Amino acid sequence: MKIAIIVFPGTNRENDIRAALVTAGVAASNLQLIWHRETAIPAATDLIVLPGGFSYGDYLRCGAMAAHSPIMREVKSAAARGVAVLGICNGFQILCESGLLPGVLLSNQGLKFVCREVELEVATNQSIYSRKMVKGHRLRAPVAHHDGNYFAAPEVLAELQDRDQIVFKYAADDNPNGSALNIAGIIDSSRRVLGLMPHLENATDPLAGGIAGRAMFDSILNG
Active-site annotation, residues:
89, 199, 201
Q: Which amino acid is at 110?
A: G
Burial category of 205 from C-beta neighbours within 10 Å (exposed 0-12, middle 13-18, buried 19 and up)? middle
In the β-sheet with 47-50, what is the strand arrangement from edge to edge? Answer: 31-35, 3-7, 47-50, 84-88, 193-196, 183-187, 166-170, 114-122, 138-145
* Strands 193-196 vs 84-88: parallel, antiparallel or unpaired: parallel
* 3-class DSSP assignment, residue 2: coil
User: Which residue, 139, 144, 123, is CA-closest to 194?
Assistant: 123
Please report which residue ranges of 3-69 form alpha helices under DSSP H. Answer: 14-24
User: Which residue, 150, 154, 16, 157, is CA-closest to 95?
Assistant: 150
